[in-house]
Amino acid sequence: MSTPPSPQGDRRFDSAANGDAELLESHAKAASKQTDEKGNYSLLPLGLIFGSSALIFWAAVYVTKFSGRYDPKMFDETAPPSTGVEVVAKVDPIVAGKKLYLSACVACHLPDGNGIAGVNPPLAGAEWVLGSEERLARIVIHGLKGPITVKGSQYNGAMPVFGKVAGSGYNWSDDKIAAVLTYIRQEWGNKGAAVSTELVTAIRTKEGGRKEWSPEELLQIP
């Protein structure tokens, strides 16, 4: 059953200009690599070739520049090539040190750094804290045993072992010890210099594992 051709302006039917077989044939001919009357092949338009080449070039440059070296940790495509993520951004030692102090030291030396009379020496204004770093670091790394005179009073407690040495229950890294020492030297009105991780490492390497210091031994160290 054939459908009648539509009169002009009637939108109820769209007439087709050719049949399907014709359509296929004419386009197959257009796509086939036949030569025309003069015997020449038809060429791709130059504009198309140049255009596509330019697009490919641009895309390649873009991907190379902003790929972030395909690193799964590079979320910022503008980061310079020397950016690495292995180095953790430095944490403020005072902040870290305060956290550590509050986790372990506060039980004996108290939040105000005044210690407990006769047992645990104060840290606020103490000459041991503000004085030689060599002595101070050794106290924390290896512990202290024996009566010690701080700010004119005597204290007879036992300071546990904090460093990464044999027999230590805490095994704090050198970073942590340096942080907490920096904190106690700059808190409660103390105006001491910061303690560096390198110093702690040097001291620990030099002394190795040993039993707790006694105040007499420490006083011999400059």
Residues that bind other proteins (CB under 8 A): 1-6, 10-21, 23-24, 26-28, 30-31, 42, 44, 48, 51-52, 55-56, 58-60, 62-63, 66-68, 70-80, 82-92, 96, 99-100, 173, 176
**Which residue, 51 or 131, has its beta carbon nearer to other proteins?**
51
Name the CA radius of gyration of the chain, rounded: 40
Cβ-based nearer residue to other proteins, 96 or 161: 96
Shortest Å, Cβ 63 to other proteins: 5
- Rounded to the nearest 10°, the torsion over CA 160, 155, 122, 212 is -30
Copy the structure tokens of residue 67: 């790929």
Tell the smallest beta-carbon distance from residue 216 to other proteins (Å).
Answer: 34
By beta-carbon proximity to other proteins, the closer residue of 15 and 205 is 15
Measured distance CA(116)–CA(50) in Å, rounded: 84
Q: How far is the CB of 90 from other proteins (least distance, A)?
A: 5
Say whether 149 sits in a helix, a strand or coil. Answer: strand
Rounded CA separation 204/210 (Å): 10
